[in-house]
Structure 1
């Protein structure tokens, strides 16, 4: 439907390609009446099809804030309004006289041009008196007064310019300060130390790579408050610094429930997307190709170095990871088996088993043994008795001798401590919702996924020093 502006004399119409906007008259009775008065068409009332174009508003659009000048249209040229009664014409004539007097006053304040008569000369001509009645001394005083006025006005303008420049500098400095303190993508881009502190990742390039990997899988998350980058950053800060949910809610300006949902969603996404990419069992050829010098002669078939670590729980765990039969339920700790390649990269992480459980039972129940090939050599970082279970797979459980044993143990402990030190959430205690919220389709708790995600993120960082 083609709309035409209802203002008298305005020929604007809604046509293809026009940049003008056309507005209905407000439903609010008081504001609608003010619009009708502004249009100034005697005896006319708007209907449902009546429209007012955007040229009649100062900013080019209507504003619904009653304090704004564009709450009511105010731009109307003389041609656009219908002629009013004689009284209105007299008022317009009086307004023109006042405008002319104001213009003459401004000209006197700023000084007259060389060919223009001064206001006093114009007034004398209008009254029929001679301008020569002014003495030379009076003219000199007027010139001096005008000159002083110009200098004073120039000084005020200069002061205002200086003030404006100072305010702009202060505004720029405040913006930079706020940007530096904020947790935004731009504030992290050129600050590797900030990235490392909040995420554990070495630099922004690695963080951006992780973001690109996860972004296609985040479309299903409906979160109007946080961007995709903020959701990832919030989750990494939760893992890295073990911040409380209320703390993160304050930092990102959201509710605690939003923080909890975001962490759970992002951990699930990273568990299914990032973990298979970063935590995997390498081929035998790849292991031998990158074997540290310290093992090439003594143990060339070394496939993995294993160790166990535990994480205490905050309270009793009712479901999810259950202890082995006969274990003491009162011992609320989660046991994990970790496999480390000789190069220092985490290649296997088990799910957590609750309670007192032997390393052998843990190795047999977590799927670690299925990764071994006949002829592989498994080294242990400390006194772990899983030789029978390893031998059943055709592999060999070896214990390094002499100084090499100390090197192997130190190496594995360095990797385990690096993961837990880099992501403080792994030091525990595990909060009950994370320990017991297992999915129906798997026997993994949310905290099991968090441990695996932490190991995956650790593999994206600089590895522990190889056994050189």
Structure 2
């Protein structure tokens, strides 16, 4: 739109390249009326398109480099300070526009300049600026309407801290760390098999001094123990544990092997031990008190399959029969595991296993060893001065006599002893699923020549030790 100066006789028009600036009439009613009076056009009122050119001010606004416009704020200040009284410019010729002002006109001019200096003029370039101001005001919303409302940054800071704390607790609860298990007994039982966090903390207290040499900057001591227990408890693969704890697969394998060695040398002697005869007799269950008061242990064997490459040719069937590890376990009548042998191939005889694992060395003369089935170790036990008794096998009874034809009290006793041992073995396997197999080949190799124990042999012993720390199988009834 082309603007023309509203002063009578002024022919300035807004053209490209012109150094003349054009100003809108102020919005303030009082100042606007003063401008109209200064224009001195009888009966005239400005419209939205009315403009005054810069030649009618004390000094013109100077634009640097011609086309570049001064900063709008600076332009407003300069325009306000340079405002000129538009006096004496009426229907007369344009000569009157340049005449010298009279003294009374100087006083009026000074008054208007002084009044106008406190405000700014608006040029056409200011239209966009006003639009931007209105947009910002609309975005500020209620803050623009109520500028006196102050923001309480202390409340905002407290709210952010509270939210941050809630997020931290949520992350800790989802992570596998000490704080996430401390007040969650169900989570402890699921991941470790132990009854509560107190027992887990006790195990950690026993193992911590022996873990100082384990340099692992990625996992804490507690996480190393938790990772190992999860491996035994849930039979998770190393890759799965690596994802859960954010480490490499090799780190998981090394951690499990090291922790099993520490637990085998520290925890097993503490939790799996052969009790004295006085302790056994003191708490002997009523089911054996009358018939076998000298019962020292109830024994049985169980097997665990392990992974092994299948042989070719004629050896395939024989190899499949040997792909199990056989263990001899001794359970006290009170329901705790008192002895676990090392693993042997499944085709080994019960007698060879008992004589080679150190079980017979635990017996004292006069001890009674009970079993629910014939393990073919009677002669070996007798050589130690003890008595091996297969419950239900009465003297003088014919071999092959069915259990249904046995006396009622003997049959009940046989079933009770058998259930007792099976209950303990089943509880250990159920609590630590890794014992159900198949065992991975890296765990079956003997890692120490002195003890001739494989890593899995130690795992079986550790599982029995952890089971003893829990509420174990009920005493023999």
Q: Which residue of 1 aligns with 2:412?
A: 403
| Post-superposition offset of 1:351 | 0.2
The alignment partner of 2:240 has SS state of helix
- Matching of residues 57-72 of structure 1 within 5 Å: none
Q: Which residue of 2 aligns with 1:153?
A: 147
The alignment partner of 2:444 has SS state of helix
Q: Which residue of 1 aligns with 2:199?
A: 206
How many Å separate the matches in 1 of 2:143 and 2:259?
A: 68
Q: Which residue of 2 aligns with 1:301?
A: 294
Q: Which residue of 1 aligns with 2:214?
A: 221
How many Å separate the matches in 2 of 1:213 and 1:298?
A: 40
Unpaired runs of at least 5, structure 2? 1-73, 78-109, 120-141, 312-316, 392-409
1:260 aligns with 2:253: yes
The alignment partner of 2:292 has SS state of coil
Q: Which residue of 1 aligns with 2:355?
A: 364
| Post-superposition offset of 1:169 | 5.5
How many Å separate the matches in 2 of 1:316 and 1:282?
A: 41
Q: Which residue of 2 aligns with 1:94?
A: none
| Post-superposition offset of 1:163 | 7.6
- Matching of residues 407-418 of structure 1 within 5 Å: 407-418=416-427
The alignment partner of 2:298 has SS state of strand
Match of 1:353 among 344, 359, 365: 344
Preserved CA contact (<8 Å) 2:303 2:346: no
Q: Cα–Cα, structure 1 residues 154 and 242, in superposed 2: closer, same or farther, change >3 Å?
A: farther
- Matching of residues 233-312 of structure 1 within 5 Å: 233-312=226-305
Match of 2:371 among 380, 383, 386: 380
Preserved CA contact (<8 Å) 2:446 2:452: no
Preserved CA contact (<8 Å) 1:198 1:237: yes
Q: Which residue of 2 aligns with 1:187?
A: 180
Match of 1:444 among 440, 450, 453: 453
Match of 1:177 among 170, 174, 185: 170
Match of 1:391 among 382, 386, 391: 382
Q: Which residue of 1 aligns with 2:314?
A: none
- Matching of residues 31-70 of structure 1 within 5 Å: none
Preserved CA contact (<8 Å) 2:306 2:323: yes
The alignment partner of 2:375 has SS state of coil
Q: Which residue of 2 aligns with 1:466?
A: 475
Matched residue count: 325
Match of 2:463 among 454, 457, 465: 454
Q: Which residue of 1 aligns with 2:395?
A: none
How many Å separate the matches in 2 of 1:176 and 1:218?
A: 28
How many Å separate the matches in 2 of 1:424 and 1:274?
A: 19
The alignment partner of 2:463 has SS state of helix
When the two chains are superposed, the root-mean-square deviation of aligned CA atoms in Å is 3.2
| Post-superposition offset of 1:151 | 5.5
| Post-superposition offset of 1:427 | 0.5
How many Å separate the matches in 1 of 2:150 and 2:416?
A: 77
1:428 aligns with 2:437: yes
The alignment partner of 2:438 has SS state of coil
How many Å separate the matches in 1 of 2:307 and 2:267?
A: 27
How many Å separate the matches in 2 of 1:161 and 1:411?
A: 66
The alignment partner of 1:464 has SS state of coil
| Post-superposition offset of 1:180 | 1.2
Q: Cα–Cα, structure 1 residues 132 and 176, in superposed 2: closer, same or farther, change >3 Å?
A: closer
| Post-superposition offset of 1:260 | 0.4
Q: Cα–Cα, structure 1 residues 265 and 149, in superposed 2: closer, same or farther, change >3 Å?
A: closer
Unpaired runs of at least 5, structure 1? 1-97, 102-123, 134-147, 319-326
Q: Cα–Cα, structure 1 residues 230 and 154, in superposed 2: closer, same or farther, change >3 Å?
A: farther
| Post-superposition offset of 1:202 | 0.6
How many Å separate the matches in 2 of 1:359 and 1:155?
A: 89
Q: Which residue of 1 aligns with 2:13?
A: none
How many Å separate the matches in 2 of 1:316 and 1:290?
A: 48
The alignment partner of 1:442 has SS state of coil
How many Å separate the matches in 2 of 1:316 and 1:155?
A: 79
Shifted more, 167-176 versus 359-368: the winner is 167-176
| Post-superposition offset of 1:155 | 5.7
| TM-score normalised according to structure 2 size | 0.63
Q: Which residue of 1 aligns with 2:133?
A: none
